[in-house]
Amino acid sequence: MPKRVLFVCLGNICRSPAAEGVFRSLCPQVSTDSAGTSGWHIGDAPYGPMQNVAKTRGYSLSDLRARQFAAADFDRFDLIIAMDQSNLEDIEALRPTGSDTAVRLFTDYAPHSGMDHVPDPYYTRDFDGCLNLIEVAAAGLMAAVVESD
């Protein structure tokens, strides 16, 4: 069972903090964090519109702050979850030699969604749709985590 899960997107202000916020409320026994492949928003709180939509569903993201993904995260986490293929490739490019830490797409845990990535609401502006998909994938991830225990 993965005890430490890291959620990764591009900016670490929309998708990955929302994924962390939803998953930690579903599965508080697992330690979580999130990071961005870019350093564009280091130290920033999650994006206001994302926080607002999350808050209406009972998830507070206000304690989270953006940081950049680093090679050392392969040792710090048991499972790294990417929001899209580009994130996954940027993560894999930093994999230390010999590391076998699992890296998966979040949508792997939402097989019935028909989605192969979590669309970036920073560009689509569909914060509700993003959170819908995140809730489904987080529930799927929780089921996978519990099953592997």
Catalytic residues: 9, 15, 120
Distance CA 48, CA 88 (A): 25
Q: Does 120 bind ligand 4NP (CB under 6 A)?
A: yes
Q: Which helix (H) or strand (E) holds 79?
A: strand 79-82
Distance CA 92, CA 148 (A): 24
Distance CA 15, CA 119 (A): 9
Total residues in contact with ligand 4NP, by rule CB under 6 A: 10
Question: Which one of 5, 10, 79, 110 is in contact with ligand 4NP (CB under 6 A)?
Answer: 10
Question: Which one of 15, 34, 101, 136 is in contact with ligand 4NP (CB under 6 A)?
Answer: 15
Q: Does 52 bind ligand 4NP (CB under 6 A)?
A: no
Backbone angles phi, psi at 119, to 5 degrees: -60, 145
147 contact partners, CB below 8 Å, separation of at least 6: none
Q: Does 62 bind ligand 4NP (CB under 6 A)?
A: no
Q: Does 21 bind ligand 4NP (CB under 6 A)?
A: no
* Contact residues: ligand 4NP, CB under 6 A: 9-15, 40, 120, 122
